Amino acid sequence: IKNVYFFGNGKAEGDASMRNELGGKGANLAEMTNLGIPVPPGFTISTEICAFYAKSKKYPVGLDKEVLAVLQKLEKTMGKKLGDPDDPLLVSVRSGAPVSLPGMMDTILNLGINDKSVKGLAARTGNTRFAWDAYRRFIQMYGDVVMLVPYEEFEGAINDLKKKRGVELDTDLTARDLEELVGEYKKIVKKTTGKDFPQQPMDQLWGAINAVFGSWMNERAIKYRQLNDIRNIKGTAVNVQSMVFGNFGEDSGTGVCFSRDPSTGENEFYGEYLMNAQGEDVVAGIRTPEKISTLAKRNKKIYDQLVGIKNKLEKHFRDMQDMEFTVQQGKLFILQTRNGKRTGAAAVKCAVDMVAEKLIDKETAVQRVSPALLDQLLHPMIDLKVLKTAKSMTRGLNASPGAACGKIVFSANDAEEWQARGEKVLLVRKDTSPEDIGGMVASQGILTSTGGMTSHAAVVARGMGTPCVAGAKEAIVQGHTLFIGTKKFSEGDWITIDGSTGEVYEGKLPLVTPDISKDMDTFLKWCDDIRASAKRGSLKGFEVRTNADQPEDAKRAFAFGAQGVGLCRTEHMFFDKDKLIHFRAMIVADTLEERKAALKEILPLQQKDFFGIFKAMEGRPVTIRLLDPPLHEFVPHTLEETQELAEFLKVSVESLQPKIDRLHEQNPMLGHRGCRLAVTYPEIYNMQVEAIALAAAECISKKIPVQPEIMIPIVITARELKLLRPNAEAILKRVFDKAGVKLHVKIGTMIEVPRAAIRSGHIARYADFFSFGTNDLTQMTFAFSRDDVASFLPAYLQQNVLDVDPFKSIDEEGVGWLISYATQQGRAVNPDLKVGICGEHGGDPLTIDFCYRAGLSYVSCSPFRVPLARLAAAQAVL
Ligand code: PEP
Ligand code: MG
CATH number assigned to the domain comprising residue 730: 3.20.20.60
Same domain, 231 and 264: no
CATH of the domain at 325: 3.30.470.20
Cβ-contact 409, 427 below 8 angstroms: yes
Q: Residue with the nearest Cα to atom 6 of ligand 1?
A: 773
Q: Is residue 702 classed as helix, strand or coil in its secondary structure?
A: coil
Q: Find out whether the beta carbon of 774 lies less than 6 Å from any atom of ligand 1.
A: yes
pLDDT, position 587: 87
Same domain, 557 and 508: no
Q: Is residue 403 classed as helix, strand or coil in its secondary structure?
A: strand
Q: Which tens digits make up the pLDDT trace of 442-501?
A: 999 999 998 887 778 887 888 777 899 998 989 999 999 999 999 999 999 999 999 988
DSSP designation for 550: S
- How many whole angstroms from its chain centre is CA 711? 32
- Kindly state whether residue 448 falls inside one of the protein's structural domains: yes
Tell which one of 624, 628, 815 to mutate to probe ligand 1, the residue whose CB is within 8 A of the most ligand atoms: 628
Model confidence at 830: pLDDT above 80: yes
Model confidence at 103: pLDDT above 70: no
**What distance in angstroms lies between residue 571's CA and the mean position of ligand 2's atoms?**
12
DSSP 594-638: HHHHHHHHHHHHHHHHHHHHHHHTTTSEEEEEPP-S-GGGGS--S
Distance from C-alpha of 239 to C-alpha of 109, rounded to nearest angstrom? 12
Model confidence at 281: pLDDT above 80: no
Which residue range is the domain that position 336 belongs to? 253-342
Binding site annotation covers 86?
Answer: no
- Kindly state whether residue 238 falls inside one of the protein's structural domains: yes
Q: Find out whether the beta carbon of 776 lies less than 6 Å from any atom of ligand 1.
A: yes
Sequence-ordered list of residues with C-beta below 8 angstroms from that of 432, at least 6 positions apart, any chain: 412, 440, 446, 448, 451, 455, 456, 457, 460
Distance from C-alpha of 317 to C-alpha of 359, rounded to nearest angstrom? 9
pLDDT, position 13: 97
Average pLDDT, the chain: 92
Q: Residue with the nearest Cα to atom 4 of ligand 1?
A: 773
Same domain, 731 and 840: yes
Longest dimension (CA), the chain: 105
**What distance in angstroms lies between residue 670's CA and the mean position of ligand 1's atoms?**
13
Distance from C-alpha of 158 to C-alpha of 814, rounded to nearest angstrom? 59
- How many whole angstroms from its chain centre is CA 242? 38
| Residue 522 pLDDT level (bands cut at 50, 70, 90) | very high
Identify the nearest ligand to the CA of 715 by its number: 2
- How many whole angstroms from its chain centre is CA 90? 41
Distance from C-alpha of 817 to C-alpha of 814, rounded to nearest angstrom? 5
Catalytic residue status for 316: no
Same domain, 725 and 815: yes
Share of the chain above pLDDT 70, in %: 98
Q: Residue with the nearest Cα to atom 1 of ligand 1?
A: 773
Identify the nearest ligand to the CA of 547 by its number: 1
Binding site annotation covers 165?
Answer: no
Same domain, 497 and 548: no
Identify the nearest ligand to the CA of 774 by its number: 1
Same domain, 870 and 805: yes
Model confidence at 280: pLDDT above 90: no
- Kindly state whether residue 527 falls inside one of the protein's structural domains: no
**DSSP H or E segment with residue 274:** strand 270-275
Model confidence at 572: pLDDT above 80: no
Q: Which parts of 392-512 fold into alpha helices (H)?
A: 412-420, 437-442, 456-464
Name the domain boundary from 313, 342, 371. 342
Model confidence at 531: pLDDT above 90: yes
**What distance in angstroms lies between residue 396's CA and the mean position of ligand 2's atoms?**
24
DSSP 142-160: HHHHTS---HHHHHHHHHH
- Kindly state whether residue 41 falls inside one of the protein's structural domains: no
Cβ neighbour number for residue 800 with a 10 Å cutoff: 8
Distance from C-alpha of 823 to C-alpha of 818, rounded to nearest angstrom? 8
Q: Which tens digits make up the pLDDT trace of 674-725?
A: 999 999 999 999 999 999 999 999 999 999 999 999 999 999 999 999 999 9
- Kindly state whether residue 680 falls inside one of the protein's structural domains: yes
Sequence-ordered list of residues with C-beta below 8 angstroms from that of 209, at least 6 positions apart, any chain: 45, 67, 93, 238, 240
Residue type at 97? A
Q: Residue with the nearest Cα to atom 9 of ligand 1?
A: 569
- Kindly state whether residue 578 falls inside one of the protein's structural domains: no
Distance from C-alpha of 734 to C-alpha of 745, rounded to nearest angstrom? 13
State how far the alpha carbon of 353 is from the alpha carbons of 346, 357, 365, 523, 806, in Å.
10, 6, 9, 10, 38
Q: Find out whether the beta carbon of 236 lies less than 6 Å from any atom of ligand 1.
A: no
The count of structural domains within the chain is 4
Cβ neighbour number for residue 763 with a 10 Å cutoff: 28
**DSSP H or E segment with residue 240:** strand 237-242
Choosing from 257, 350, 568, 838, which is the catalytic residue? 838
Model pTM score:
0.84
**What distance in angstroms lies between residue 566's CA and the mean position of ligand 2's atoms?**
13
- Kindly state whether residue 64 falls inside one of the protein's structural domains: yes
Q: Find out whether the beta carbon of 572 lies less than 6 Å from any atom of ligand 1.
A: no
pLDDT, position 283: 56
| Residue 429 pLDDT level (bands cut at 50, 70, 90) | very high
Same domain, 310 and 396: no
Distance from C-alpha of 729 to C-alpha of 716, rounded to nearest angstrom? 20
Tell which one of 433, 453, 454 to mutate to probe ligand 1, the residue whose CB is within 8 A of the most ligand atoms: 454
| Residue 505 pLDDT level (bands cut at 50, 70, 90) | very high
Identify the nearest ligand to the CA of 775 by its number: 1
**DSSP H or E segment with residue 347:** helix 344-356
Share of the chain above pLDDT 90, in %: 72
Q: Which parts of 702-811 fold into alpha helices (H)?
A: 718-739, 754-758, 760-763, 774-782, 793-798
**What distance in angstroms lies between residue 4's CA and the mean position of ligand 1's atoms?**
54
Binding site annotation covers 416?
Answer: no
Binding site annotation covers 773?
Answer: yes
Catalytic residue status for 568: no
Distance from C-alpha of 193 to C-alpha of 445, rounded to nearest angstrom? 51
Q: Which tens digits make up the pLDDT trace of 197-229?
A: 999 999 999 999 999 999 898 887 887 787 677
Average pLDDT over residues 225-246: 88
Cβ-contact 247, 278 below 8 angstroms: yes
Q: Find out whether the beta carbon of 752 lies less than 6 Å from any atom of ligand 1.
A: yes
| Residue 157 pLDDT level (bands cut at 50, 70, 90) | very high
Same domain, 397 and 260: no
Binding site annotation covers 569?
Answer: yes
pLDDT, position 461: 86
Average pLDDT over residues 9-15: 94
Model confidence at 285: pLDDT above 60: no
**What distance in angstroms lies between residue 774's CA and the mean position of ligand 2's atoms?**
7
CATH of the domain at 225: 1.20.80.30
**What distance in angstroms lies between residue 673's CA and the mean position of ligand 2's atoms?**
10
Average pLDDT over residues 552-564: 92
**DSSP H or E segment with residue 89:** strand 88-89
**Backbone torsions φ then ψ of 74, nearest 5 degrees:** -65, -45
Residue type at 87? D
Q: Is the four-CA dihedral 467, 471, 476, 478 of positive or negative sign?
A: positive
CATH of the domain at 468: 3.50.30.10
Q: Find out whether the beta carbon of 720 lies less than 6 Å from any atom of ligand 1.
A: no
Which of ligand 1's atoms lies nearest the C-alpha of 547? 5
Same domain, 559 and 418: no
Same domain, 264 and 228: no
Model confidence at 801: pLDDT above 80: yes
Tell which one of 771, 838, 859 to mutate to probe ligand 1, the residue whose CB is within 8 A of the most ligand atoms: 838
Which of ligand 1's atoms lies nearest the C-alpha of 752? 2
> 53-62, 463-472, 560-569, 573-582 — which is least confidently predicted?
573-582
pLDDT, position 102: 67
Same domain, 134 and 112: yes
Distance from C-alpha of 126 to C-alpha of 800, rounded to nearest angstrom? 57
Q: Which tens digits make up the pLDDT trace of 361-398?
A: 999 999 999 998 888 788 888 988 888 888 999 999 88
| Residue 287 pLDDT level (bands cut at 50, 70, 90) | low
Choosing from 379, 405, 456, 841, which is the catalytic residue? 456
Same domain, 115 and 203: yes
pLDDT, position 1: 85
State how far the alpha carbon of 720 is from the alpha carbons of 663, 689, 693, 781, in Å.
23, 16, 21, 21
